[in-house]
Each structure stands twice: as structure tokens, then as C-alpha cells.
Amino acid sequence: MTTPTPAHSPGPLERARSDPAYSAFLLLRIGFTVLPIAMGLDKFTNVLTTWEDYLAPWIVDLSPLDAHDTMLVVGVIEIVAGIAVAIKPRYAAYIVAAWLAGIVINLLTYPGFYDIALRDFGLMLGALTLGRLAYVYDPAWHRHTVPSANLAAA
């Protein structure tokens, strides 16, 4: 006689092996978590590049901060965006896509960085794709409402 076992739900890796769309969701979620955090941290160290060089002069003119301090703020925003994608990609992916659209606009208004603008446009499409996949694989946050019958009893 065999003992019944509880229903086995596959783990994320098992699911990624069997469901290509879930695998794509997982890869994009990891990428859009790790990369913004890494780029944001690099704004404080400038190990990969001198980030101020990518900031269009008109943005520096608009900012109340100098170029370096503006990029530090950008770094904080990128770190927060990466954490948000880790927590709730269903919503944060669209924030990251909007952020990347801003970066594309910055780069298109500053000659010499059109190739990087094109790359970031591709990243923006990836963030939008993550948002669409998250619609399927990341459940929505629902507001808890008190049923009207309970209100009468109160």
C-alpha cells in the first residue's frame, strides 16, 4: 500500500526548465534586479566609467546639484529600482522602463552617445517585456477590503 503524498508544486528552477515563458520572466527579473543595483553602486565609485560624462549639459543646468552629485542621486534611484523589481516586478518593471526612457532622451540630446541610447532603448523593451510577463507570473497586490456586512455589525 502506498501512502499518498501531498501535491508537489515545482520550485522556480524546475518551473523554469519546463516553462520557457517563466524562464524568460525569471531571467529578466534577475537581470533587472542585479544590474540596476550594480550600476547604482558604481555611481559612487566610478569603477566602470566616469558617469558624469554621460550626463547631458542641459540636465546639469536643470539640476540644483553639480554633475557628480546628480549622478549620486541617479545611483540611489537605480538601487531602489533594482530592489523594487526584486520585490514586485509587476509594477517596478514599468518604473524601470520609464527610467530607461529618460536615459534614452538624455543620451539622444547629447551628441556622441547614440549607440548607448540604442542599447538603452533595447533595455527599455526588456523592462516592458518583464512587466508583461509579470502580469502572468507575479500576482497583483490586492487591497484588503472589509465586506459591507461586517460594517453593519461594527
Lowest mean pLDDT among 1-10, 32-41, 98-107, 120-129: 1-10
Would you say residue 144 has pLDDT above 70? no
Structure confidence by residue, pLDDT tens digits, 48-71: 999 999 999 999 999 999 999 999
Would you say residue 148 has pLDDT above 70? no
Q: How far apart are CA 24 and CA 37, in angstroms?
A: 20
In terms of pTM, does the model score above 0.75? Answer: yes
